[in-house]
Every structure is written in C-alpha cells, then in structure tokens.
Amino acid sequence: MENSSTMIGPRGIIRRHEFVRVVLQCLYSLGYKKSASCLESESGILYKSVDFKELELQVFNGNWDGCVHTLNAIMDLKEDIRASVMFLVFKQCLLEYLNSGDDCLALNVLRKQVPSFRMSKEKVHKLASSILWLEEMELGKIDKDAISELRKDCWWSWKNCFLRQSQYLQGGAVSLYVDHCCDRDLIPTETVQILTEHKNEVWFVQFSNNGEYLASSSSDCTAIIWKVGEDSVLTLKHTLRSHQNPVSFVAWSPDDTKLLTCGNLEVLKLWNVETGICKHTFGEHGFIVSSCAWFPDSKRLVCGSSDPEKGIFMWDCDGNEIKAWRGTRMPKVLDLAVTPDGKILISVLSDKEIRVLNLGTNAERVISEEHPITSLSVSVDSKFFIVNLNSQEIHLWDIAGKLEKPLKYTGHQQNKYVIRSCFGGLDSSFIASGSENSQVYIWNKRNTKPIEVLTGHLMTVNCVSWNPKRPQMLASASDDQSIRIWGPSQSNKSSI
C-alpha cells in the first residue's frame, strides 16, 4: 500500500507525484518554464528524473555504451522493462554500426554485450534476425537526418516502456498516466440527416481534413462534394461527372483544395474542390487505379493498381512520374495509405500481405494476415492503422512495429464485401465500421467489443467517416443508396 501522504484528492486515490508531473508537463508544453521550475523546486518533484534526462541526452547523441551503463544503474526499474529498453538500445546500435561500416563492432554487440544481459532466447533471436531486416535499408546510405529521426523514434519507444512501469496500480490508486476513456454520451448515436442524391449504391464517404466538406462516391459513376454548414447540416456543393464506371474511392488533399477519385476498372481523376472541375486524368494508357493517397505537401500523390504489372506510382498533380514501385516483389495493390506525417507508405498486397515502407530509410516491414484484407485506414497521429478482414475482425497494428500481435475488434459482420472502418471521435479514441447486417459499429480503441451499434440503414454499410473537427459527427454510406449523418442523442445534447 502507498503511504497516505503520497495520495491526494477527496478520496485519496490519486498519486501526488503523478499529479505534480502532469501539471509540470502542461506548464512546460505551454512555455511556462519559470513557473514549472518553481514548482519543481517547491515540490521536490522533477518533471524528468536525473537518469531520464541523462538517457535522453545519450540517445540523441548516439552514446549507446552510456545508455547501457545508465540503464543498469537504475535500481528500481522492473527487469522486463529494462530488457525491453535494452533490446531497443542494441537494435539501434546495430543499425548505426552497420550503416557506418563498423561490422566488427556490430558483431561484438551480438557476441558479447547481448548475452551478458540475460535476455530471453526469443529476444536474442529477434535481434539477430533484425540484421536481415536492416540489410534492406540500404545501409551506408542513411544520412544524418534519417539517423536523427530513427533516434527520436527510439526515444519515444523507450518512453512508452517507462510509462508501462508507471501504470502498475497499487492499493486501488488511480493512475493519471492511464489514458482517459471518453463517455458514450460524446459519440454520435442518432441519425440527424439522410442524403439521397446518389442513384445507386454508395460505396465510399470521407470528410475533408478541415471538417468542412464530405465527399461520397457511388456505383452510379459519380462522386459528390457536400458542404458542412455551421448548423451541421450538409448541402450538395458539386456533383462530379466524368467517370465511365463506378467510383469506389476518394481522397482529400491535406489542404482540402483538391480531391482524387478512382473506381472499378477506372482511371484516377483530380478535381478542384472549389469549382468542381476535373483538372487532370491520370492513367490514360490503361493504368487501372485501385486506391490513392496524398503526401502532406498536397503536391504529390501515390496510387496503386490492381494490375500486378503496374504496381505503385508517385505523381505530381500534373501527372509527372516521380517514382514507381513495380516488378516481381510488387503484386496487385488492393489498398494503400500514406501516414499524415508523410514518412510511411502502407500498402495491402495480394489479399493478405501488408507492407510498411519507411520512405526515408527504405526500411520495409511485412505483416501477413491469415484472412483476406478488404481495407486500410491510418490514424491522424501516424502511429496506428487498422485493416478490415473478411473473417469478421478489424485488426489494429502500430506503425513502429512494437506490437507482435494486433488488437482484434469483433462484433460486426463481414464475409464477402469490401467494408471500411475509420478512427475518430474525441482525441480519435474510437473506431467505427460498416457491416453487412446494415448497421454501424463503434468501439472504444481500448475495448475490442462494440460499445454502440447504430441502426437505420436498410442494406450493407460499406464505409464510415468521422468528422475530424466535429467529433460528434459521423457519416455512413450504404447499398441502400443513402448516406446517413449521425449525431449525439437528443437527450444527451444538454449535457455535452
């Protein structure tokens, strides 16, 4: 049990040092360094411990021997946490030694240093096998900026490990380091508007990044841009007519001035959002596009083809090819995405394979699923992605590759159709998905069972999209030829 003097709050269940550190974090993040320093001095609680500060400095300077020494000197560190962090140290150390051509130093790490820390055989084998993965990163060509980014990623992984130690609860205490889970009253549960302008099945919906527009596409060979009013009512802005086949996919440019559309056996088209005019058609020479995505600069885009001979292309907005991935290692592309930070390209290939490509280092990680994948969606913080499987599961993976197994969300129905899901809600704390039983399912990211099931559609719900600026607004597209806009329950509005 913790000493009562270390606990605060009316019920005495909040740890004093956690509360003070949360306040310190807020002060430092707001730029109030003098106030934070004063609080540290008065409370005797440091935002970062001496060891923590020393480790941070050693990581960013690439002082790996110093990291090992500091980690060993931390007496109250749990052994499983120490082992996890040591694994990350050695992995980054190996990468940098091999990149600089110091093969002997890398070998010394594996032969002498790693065994001395009594890591499990599984971790040692994983570390050794990582060398094969490192060889695909074009070692020797990774520049200082890329190394700096990798060290930064390494440090964030360390912080997550240390946070795990802080989350062990004792004596019923409440940890402020555990993420808050939003109340169900803060998610959309009721239909507030039905859009019926499409003349056939609606296959895709996506809100713009600023939340001011919604784009939808249909098997009626059109896409529609909707304007979201200040009163949260959507009105038709443009109907985009140019495709000769069903339109199954749309993608907003990060600046929301352009929209990409593509579809079954169709080319890729670029539209001006303000005017509704088609500015460019890509793939006039039989390049059939299955999916597309933007880079953060809104000037470059990438698209994949269901034709295995075509692969993945990166173009500028005028159709000039910048880069291409094709060949025997690039089978047909079912879906793809670029993380919002522009660093990672994720693609779904040949039904069951996911490839996570670091565009800066060319490091590639392959994830194999046991069942066919139908869709892919990436979180706004560039840390996670979800895939829908026809085994009636949605799998959540972390982009950094720390999860050995995915989180699996169940409850919806999906056997034979393309169903799409998305992140969303307050702080992107939720996942929503369509379903073949005409319903919309919502999960809290931390709970694999649905917390809400929304009814109203009459046929399969193909796609859902959460408004990124209005966390209580959700859109769903269905084979019943309608789009439903969902909002909070009327009975809850007064309390929100």
Quick check: 330 and 343 in contact, CB under 8 A?
no
What does the pLDDT read at residue 45? 75
* Three-state secondary-structure class, residue 74: coil
Lowest mean pLDDT among 77-86, 340-349, 383-392: 77-86
Q: What predicted TM-score, i.e. pTM, was given to this entire model?
A: 0.65
In the predicted model, is pLDDT for residue 160 greater than 70?
Answer: no
Q: What is the mean pLDDT of the chain?
A: 82
Quick check: 376 and 385 in contact, CB under 8 A?
yes
Chain-centroid distance of CA 57 in Å reads 28
Quick check: 196 and 156 in contact, CB under 8 A?
no
258 Cβ neighbours under 8 A, 6+ residues apart = 252, 270, 271, 272, 273, 279, 298, 317
What does the pLDDT read at residue 492? 47
In the predicted model, is pLDDT for residue 286 greater than 80?
Answer: no
Q: Rounded to 5 degrees, what are φ and ψ at 475?
A: -115, 145
Helix axes 121-135, 79-99, angle to 10 degrees: 30
What does the pLDDT read at residue 348? 93
Q: Which residue has the tokens 């056996």?
A: 265
What does the pLDDT read at residue 253? 97
What does the pLDDT read at residue 306? 74
**Which of 230, 208, 169 has its CA nearest to residue 1?**
169
Q: Return the structure tokens found at 155.
A: 């440090």
Task: Return d(Cα 273, Cα 258) in angstroms, integer.
Answer: 5
In the predicted model, is pLDDT for residue 185 greater than 70?
Answer: no
In the predicted model, is pLDDT for residue 437 greater than 90?
Answer: yes
Average pLDDT over residues 337-343: 95
Between the alpha carbon of residue 150 and those of residues 61, 62, 143, the distances in Å are 12, 11, 11
Residue-wise pLDDT for 411-429, tens only, equals 999 988 999 999 999 888 8
Task: Return d(Cα 116, Cα 107) in angstroms, integer.
Answer: 14
**Which of 243, 237, 232, 258 has its CA nearest to residue 200?**
243
